[in-house]
Amino acid sequence: MKLVHLVVAVWLAAAGKVAHAMPPPIDPVRQAAELEERASVLRPVAEAGDVEVQWQLAQLLRWGRPQEALAWLRKAAAQGHEEALMQLTDMLLADQADKPALQEALDRLRQASAQGTVSAQVKLGNALGFPYAGIAVNEAESAHWYRQAAEAGDLWAQVYLAQALRAGRGTAKDEHEAVKWFGMAAHKGDGLAQFYLAEMLQRGQGTAKDEAAAASWYLKAVKGIAGPQIAAYALGRCFEFGLGVHQDFQQAAHWYETGARANDRRSQRKFARFLQAGKGLAREPVQAYAWLSLALNGEIDKEEGEELAATLTPAQLAEARRLAAQWRPGEAMGPSRLKLARTP
């Protein structure tokens, strides 16, 4: 570490601060004074051309003085500081009504992408591939940059490229190649790639149909951060219908409840049906009505829930509505059924 970096780090630590972006001020007057005091220590070094201190100063000023922060980010990005480039383009892309800023972001990302900066290639692919106010969608260019980053080993680019290949979005549809890229990302532990790979294996898209392998990948996907919301329903169906696993209604109920608690409406609807019928677990019509109400966004009395509602007393209906109104994502609806399932 350069001496100046050490001095800056020690000074910031002594002040009880870290050289990262400050949160929005609570006391603007006091924090403005503190901000200027701290910035005055960094400015001379940043002005002398030290790229790391330029980056630190931009972090410090990002909330309190965003225009000055942008200026320092531009200086650091011009010296090849990748994190500065990424944050600079984030800030430029944030104001979707500022067309010059959007164009500057695209120009900078294109230049860095052409020079082989993988993070820029992924961000440029995203900016051009998804509807973004002020930026014309260019799926072909988006897919091009995803491929460049995917071939360089970027996990997210591999997922995005596989999605484009599977749908034929911006590139020729090629399910076989999509399976290849999903597989690469899945083996690195990406839950979304694991889910999509499982789907394609289960359907025989781009590869031989293999329901057992699909169920195995669904199980891996469901254990990720977002896994319960994206994969629990599919895994529940595997156990309900014996797709690649032994049919097991208790396991199906377990995974449907897992998805229901993650606020997946398909899982909530399925779990409600299991509770209504006592399929794989004890019959609970009150909780069934509550879960179904959540799945149908409160419109239960109009269609699917009429028959179920007819089996409940007014007091039971009131209790079910209370349960639904008080429920929060991640929670059980009364006693949890998750303990009933064995680990596959």
Answer yes or no: do 230 and 344 share one domain.
yes
pLDDT value of position 64: 84
Q: Is residue 264 part of a domain?
A: yes
pLDDT for position 159: 97
pLDDT digits (tens, 9 = 90+) for 108-134: 999 999 999 999 999 999 999 987 767
CB 120 within 8 A of CB 138: no
Domain termination site, one of 205, 224, 243: 224
Are residues 230 and 263 located together in one domain of the fold? Answer: yes
Q: Is residue 24 part of a domain?
A: no
Q: Are residues 304 and 208 in the same domain?
A: no
Is position 8 within any domain? no
* 109 found inside a domain: no
Domain count, the chain: 3
Regarding whether 194 and 87 lie in a shared domain, the answer is no
Residues 260 and 297 in one domain: yes
Burial class (CB in 10 A: 0-12, 13-18, 19+), 10: exposed
The domain in which residue 71 lies consists of: 38-94
* Same domain, yes or no: 338 and 231: yes
pTM of the model: 0.82
Closest CA to 65 of 89, 47, 85, 91: 91
Residue 6: inside a domain: no
Tell me which residues of the chain have a pLDDT lower than 50: 1-22, 341-344
| SS3 (DSSP) at 258 | helix
Same domain (yes/no): 176, 272 = no
Residue 1 lies in a domain: no
User: Would residue 71 count as lying in a domain?
Assistant: yes
Shared domain for 341 and 234, answered yes or no, is yes
Are 215 and 230 found together in one domain? no
In a shared domain, residues 175 and 126: yes
Tell whether 19 is covered by a domain.
no
Q: Which of 198, 224, 250 is the last residue of a domain?
A: 224
Task: Please give the Cα distance from 159 to 146 (Å, whole number).
Answer: 9
What is the tally of helices (H) and strands (E) in the chain? Answer: 18, 0
146 with 187, same domain: the answer is: yes
CATH (domain of 204): 1.25.40.10
Q: Which helix (H) or strand (E) holds 120?
A: helix 118-129
Owner of token pair 């669904």: 218
Both 154 and 75 in one domain: the answer is: no
